[in-house]
Amino acid sequence: MEASSSGITNGKTKVFHPVAKDVNILFDELEAVNSPCKDDDSLLHPGNLTSTSDDASRLEAGGETIPEKNKSNGLYFRDGKCRIDYILVYRKSNPQTEKREVFERNIRAEGLQMEKESSLINSDIIFVKLHAPWEVLGRYAEQMNVRMPFRRKIYYLPRRYKFMSRIDKQISRFRRWLPKKPMRLDKETLPDLEENDCYTAPFSQQRIHHFIIHNKDTFFNNATRSRIVHHILQRIKYEEGKNKIGLNRLLTNGSYEAAFPLHEGSYRSKNSIRTHGAVNHRHLLYECWASWGVWYKYQPLDLVRRYFGEKIGLYFAWLGWYTGMLFPAAFIGLFVFLYGVITLDHCQVSKEVCQATDIIMCPVCDKYCPFMRLSDSCVYAKVTHLFDNGATVFFAVFMAVWATVFLEFWKRRRAVIAYDWDLIDWEEEEEEIRPQFEAKYSKKERMNPISGKPEPYQAFADKCSRLIVSASGIFFMICVVIAAVFGIVIYRVVTVSTFAAFKWALIRNNSQVATTGTAVCINFCIIMLLNVLYEKVALLLTNLEQPRTESEWENSFTLKMFLFQFVNLNSSTFYIAFFLGRFTGHPGAYLRLINRWRLEECHPSGCLIDLCMQMGIIMVLKQTWNNFMELGYPLIQNWWTRRKVRQEHGPERKISFPQWEKDYTLQPMNAYGLFDEYLEMILQFGFTTIFVAAFPLAPLLALLNNIIEIRLDAYKFVTQWRRPLASRAKDIGIWYGILEGIGILSVITNAFVIAITSDFIPRLVYAYKYGPCAGQGEAGQKCMVGYVNASLSVFRISDFENRSEPESDGSEFSGTPLKYCRYRDYRDPPHSLVPYGYTLQFWHVLAARLAFIIVFEHLVFCIKHLISYLIPDLPKDLRDRMRREKYLIQEMMYEAELERLQKERKERKKNGKAHHNEWP
């Protein structure tokens, strides 16, 4: 027993209880200290909601009325007065009885009230209900620096000029004709969250009269109460010895099966929320946030923060901000696509491809692939123009700038949220050492410079060696990804010939599209399988590093999982964008894998169509699968649990379960917290920005997914998961740095996509240098006449290698065997001095591509840095509000202290103890 909760008087142990005894489990003062807390049925209430305890009977007999609603809703102790702040769950058959005895004895010594009850479903399961009285809440709120409201905020209007006032009047007149903010929630439905309109200060019991306290039972909201109880449980000893403390360790070693705060009742109600109002905050969140009928409305972030805490509130604030910022990106991307649709009939290049019936292209694979007319790829040329047109470069620049604006304005938005939620001056506590780290390095200790206490110490050499091994593991897993991509490449080069010899004409005539489609689907399956392996490897490597604290462990695990998943998801896309068709050689001298398989060539209309298919299929399948796993899996699990209960108790018997029983049957939150939610959105952000020049519809797909994602996540948190512990956070953590890295990478990749994958640069070179408008400074569609013929080289069929020679001689086109065919490249004809050597146009195009990459990157990076410099991280009005609040708080504290001194002086005068030299 800790010294703060016990003392020695006349050689006998005396226990100081700062609060009343437990409501339903009565302990003698000596028994509470000297005898263990027993796990047998003598201390349990049977799982019967209709029965009442002896204490409750005595209270009612004494004239105190207890609301029957409190007794039956499962949110209070059996006396109907003490609200349940936390639930612990264990099994009687669990052998860790001694640790639980010590732990629960120390829980009562800290002043927490406790009540136990067996499960209605399984008598082996025991629920431990905890309640923190006012004295305990006040004491620990002061220790934890919990900020509470103490005076209403005084708003003031900033100084405005006459010109701006006139503009505001005109805008307000115009707004009268518009709908009245349909995206905003009805204010009458939402509760008055008083603390948002009040100045707050760290709670102090000495200055308790300064705070706004209407009711002590509701002064600390449920989330704050459960956070305080969790804080206490994390610091309670469960074994006499060194650092044997904390609920997390008891959950790890199996002493307790679960620990969670309760939901505030059911999320459904028989009555309409519009006529009868919300039953509780959970019901209100379901109706105003998790319901599909409000998909177009803003999120009630203040209510989310109040119910789930600042960390989860910040995630949904970031997700909502990201979704809102996707609107302009999706609109511009859709405009680029529609621009391609509108200008399709005027595109000279696609016209020439569709009219090129006399141009015969060389086979795209060995033997089985036939010769084909260039006009056969007319459809693919038109589809390519939808994504690769004159607006593509503008859109790539726009998206690079958009990524910067998104991050910069998120910093401003985060600052506003941090101010409203009292996170500006909040600092994380000194974290406890992980039990695994302590067990590994307990023999060697060093003084902590912050706490001044000895703690386990990891030698520098040991840390470096573990980091090297971890980095080697990361490198090996990346090599596994590259090997998987290599396998997909082999599949593509093998199946092209297979599909070309297929019996069905539809597949035979579209062998390349069939190859790309099946390869993408197989790649997606490999991605999902490798993701399971990656999680286990990331856990192994992170535990091998032995991080000191939980935040260090979380950051290390997050970085590894992001690297693994990012490489896994984008490796095939990088191959198609930058390697497909680039190193194939030319007819008669093809480059081959292991001197056997001929490398895959691009379609006659270009490689961009393959990249579009890769991004579209992967993005749609990945988001569909994630949404199913996020919502479908918990729904199936909870349905299965309810089904088992019905089978055990019979479908005819309707059981009214208490709230703790209902919450226990729900799924716990992921072991990694919000990691999966953030990772999904960050990978989507990468898809939206990195290859957006090849797929302008990516922001639109992301927007549609996120509108669904917000409501799916909200539904999951409100209805399918146990209520997570309300924890605080100032920002989104390491994810912001990852977002910045993706923004920088997107500039580089889009520059290479436009310069290398797209035909934008070859067309530009032809228009200004080789076309009909050469030297005139024009680049319209009339200047592109003859581009298709100029971009194709001639090959003599007799120069084919034996293993590449096609089975057909091409006589089906003109009635006589073909002598020449065409292929995409800039090479000299076979009868030149250097057959099949590069032409001057090839070097001009290559120089233009390199120049474009350099100019594009420098220009976009300059714009990004300029925008970052011009946009301040803190809005000016917020800075003024913060300075004014600081000034007002100082004035209020001065007035309160002066009032206290004057009151003390009056009391001294009244008691006759005044002095002549009294000051003030």
- DSSP secondary structure, 688-751, as one string: HHHTTTT-TTHHHHHHHHHHHHHHHHHHIIIIIBPPPP----SS-THHHHHHHHHHHHHHHHHH
Structure tokens of 666? 């729900």
pLDDT of residue 532: 81
Backbone region of residue 80 per phi and psi (left: phi > 0; alpha: psi in -120 to 50; beta: other values): left
pLDDT of residue 916: 47
Alpha-carbon span 368 to 496, nearest angstrom: 9
pLDDT of residue 29: 33
Indicate whether 49 pLDDT > 70: no
Q: Reduced to 3 states, what is the DSSP secondary structure of residue 644? A: helix
pLDDT of residue 34: 35
More confident residue, 314 or 204: 314
Contact in structure between 792 and 842 (CB atoms under 8 Å): no
Alpha-carbon span 602 to 825, nearest angstrom: 11
Contact in structure between 788 and 355 (CB atoms under 8 Å): no
Poorest-pLDDT segment among 195-199, 312-316, 386-390: 195-199
Poorest-pLDDT segment among 173-182, 198-207, 354-363, 898-907: 173-182
Structure tokens of 367? 């033997």
Q: What is the dihedral of CA 157, 163, 164, 167, to 10 degrees?
A: 130
Give the position of tokens 């998104």: 406
Buried/exposed code over 178-205 (b: 16+ C-beta within 10 A; e: otherwise): eeeeeeebeeeeeeeeebeebbbbebee
Helix (H) or strand (E) holding 536: helix 511-545
CA nearest to 289, candidates 724, 713, 711: 711
Q: What is the dihedral of CA 441, 445, 447, 449, to 10 degrees?
A: -20
Question: Is 793 exposed, middle or buried, given 0-12, 13-18 or 19+ CB atoms closer than 10 A?
Answer: buried
pLDDT of residue 19: 35
Indicate whether 86 pLDDT > 90: yes
Alpha-carbon span 609 to 613, nearest angstrom: 6
pTM above 0.85, yes or no: no
CA nearest to 88, candidates 117, 122, 55, 58: 117
Give the position of tokens 């199936």: 636
Poorest-pLDDT segment among 127-136, 468-477, 587-596: 587-596
One DSSP character per residue, 480-527 reads HHHHHHHHHHHHHHHHHHHHHT-SSHHHHHTHHHHHHHHHHHHHHHHH
Assign 3-class secondary structure to 143-156.
HCCCEEEEEECCCC
Poorest-pLDDT segment among 151-165, 452-466, 570-584, 627-641: 151-165
* pLDDT bracket for residue 129 (50, 70, 90): very high
Task: Please enumerate in sequence order all residues whose Cβ is within 8 A of that of 468, keeping only pairs 6 or more positions apart, or say none.
Answer: none
CA 154, chain centre distance (Å): 36
More confident residue, 778 or 136: 136
- Tell me the H-state helices in 343-458: 348-355, 378-387, 392-420, 435-440
pLDDT of residue 324: 92
Give the position of tokens 């199946």: 495
Q: How many helices, marked H, and strands, marked E, lie in the chain?
A: 32, 18
- Residue 131: phi and psi, rounded to 5, are -135, 135
Buried/exposed code over 857-895 (b: 16+ C-beta within 10 A; e: otherwise): beebeeebeeeeeeeeeebeebeebeeebeeeeeeeeee
Indicate whether 26 pLDDT > 50: no
Alpha-carbon span 574 to 580, nearest angstrom: 9
Backbone region of residue 606 per phi and psi (left: phi > 0; alpha: psi in -120 to 50; beta: other values): left
Question: Which amino acid is located at 446 in the chain?
Answer: R
Q: What percent of the chain has pLDDT over 70?
A: 81
Indicate whether 35 pLDDT > 80: no
Indicate whether 595 pLDDT > 80: no
Give the count of alpha carbons within 13 A of 190, CB side only. 17
Alpha-carbon span 197 to 191, nearest angstrom: 13
pLDDT of residue 156: 52
Q: What is the pLDDT of residues 859-909, one digit of tens each?
A: 999 998 898 888 888 888 888 877 877 777 777 777 777 877 888 888 888
Indicate whether 476 pLDDT > 70: yes
Structure tokens of 188? 């009458």
What is the largest distance, in Å, between two alpha-carbon atoms of the chain? 129
Classify strands 258-260 and 86-91 as parallel, antiparallel or unpaired: antiparallel
Alpha-carbon span 398 to 403, nearest angstrom: 9
Buried/exposed code over 430-462 (b: 16+ C-beta within 10 A; e: otherwise): eebbbeebbeebeeeeeeeeeeeeebbbbeeee
pLDDT of residue 506: 62
pLDDT of residue 15: 34
Distances (CA, A) of 402 to 36, 701, 736, 867: 63, 17, 15, 10
Classify strands 147-152 and 454-456 as parallel, antiparallel or unpaired: unpaired
* pLDDT bracket for residue 127 (50, 70, 90): very high
Q: What is the pLDDT of residues 673-683, one digit of tens each?
A: 788 889 889 98
Indicate whether 422 pLDDT > 70: yes
Average pLDDT of the segment spanning 183-212: 72
Mean of the per-residue pLDDT values for the chain?
Answer: 79
Helix (H) or strand (E) holding 114: strand 113-118
Alpha-carbon span 224 to 321, nearest angstrom: 26
CA nearest to 725, candidates 316, 258, 73: 258
Q: How many CB atoms lie under 10 A from the CB of residue 163?
A: 8
- Residue 899: phi and psi, rounded to 5, are -65, -40
CA nearest to 608, candidates 794, 500, 762: 762
More confident residue, 373 or 498: 373
Indicate whether 50 pLDDT > 50: no
Q: Enumerate the domain spans of the chain.
A: 879-907
Indicate whether 727 pLDDT > 80: yes
Indicate whether 275 pLDDT > 80: no
Average pLDDT of the segment spanning 386-412: 88
Structure tokens of 132? 């923190």
Indicate whether 852 pLDDT > 50: yes
Contact in structure between 404 and 864 (CB atoms under 8 Å): yes
pLDDT of residue 219: 86
Q: How many CB atoms lie under 10 A from the CB of residue 705?
A: 23
Question: Which amino acid is located at 530 in the chain?
Answer: L
Structure tokens of 52? 């009442």
Contact in structure between 779 and 769 (CB atoms under 8 Å): no
pLDDT of residue 28: 32
CA nearest to 666, candidates 695, 639, 627: 639
Alpha-carbon span 694 to 760, nearest angstrom: 12
Q: What percent of the chain has pLDDT over 90?
A: 14
Q: Reduced to 3 states, what is the DSSP secondary structure of residue 432? A: coil
pLDDT of residue 241: 62
pLDDT of residue 23: 32
- Residue 259: phi and psi, rounded to 5, are -150, 125
